[in-house]
């Protein structure tokens, strides 16, 4: 039997923070992107293959962790959600 592990989940927090920043950076630079394009960017370009990312996980991750910065709307032509940054009065010009 293995000994009980004690830790502060620092690797888990670091992965969460990195994933949040990478998703936010991609959505801000590519407004109107889909969850599939976000997953492709993260897994292929950023080499985050061991995170187990799927479009479904990204679709639930964004409203949970990036609610203040990223919004979504339906692209009725393609029939899927697309994501973009939230523009408030202070950032609008």
Which residues does 34 contact at the CB level (< 8 Å), separation at least 6?
Answer: 55, 75, 78, 80, 81, 82, 83
pLDDT at 93 over 50: no
CATH topology of domain 15-85: Arc Repressor Mutant, subunit A (1.10.10)
Q: Does pTM top 0.75 for this prediction?
A: yes
- Express each pLDDT in 26-37 by its tens digit: 999 999 999 999
Ordered by start, the domain boundaries in the chain are 15-85
Pairwise pLDDT comparison (78 vs 24), residue with the higher score: 24
Q: What phi and psi values does residue 77 have, to the nearest 5 degrees?
A: -70, -45
Model confidence pLDDT, tens digit, residues 45-69? 888 777 788 999 999 999 999 999 9
> Which run of H or E residues covers position 82?
strand 80-85
Percent of the chain with pLDDT over 70: 86
């Amino acid at each position: 039997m293995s000994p009980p592990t004690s830790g502060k989940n620092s690797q888990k927090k670091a992965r969460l923070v990195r994933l949040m920043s990478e998703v936010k950076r991609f959505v801000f630079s590519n407004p109107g992107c889909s969850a599939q394009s976000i997953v492709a960017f993260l897994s292929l370009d950023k080499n985050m293959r061991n995170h187990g990312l799927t479009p479904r996980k990204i679709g639930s991750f964004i409203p949970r962790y990036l609610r203040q910065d990223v919004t979504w709307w339906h692209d009725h032509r393609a029939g899927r959600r697309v994501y973009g940054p939230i523009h408030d009065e202070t950032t609008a010009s």
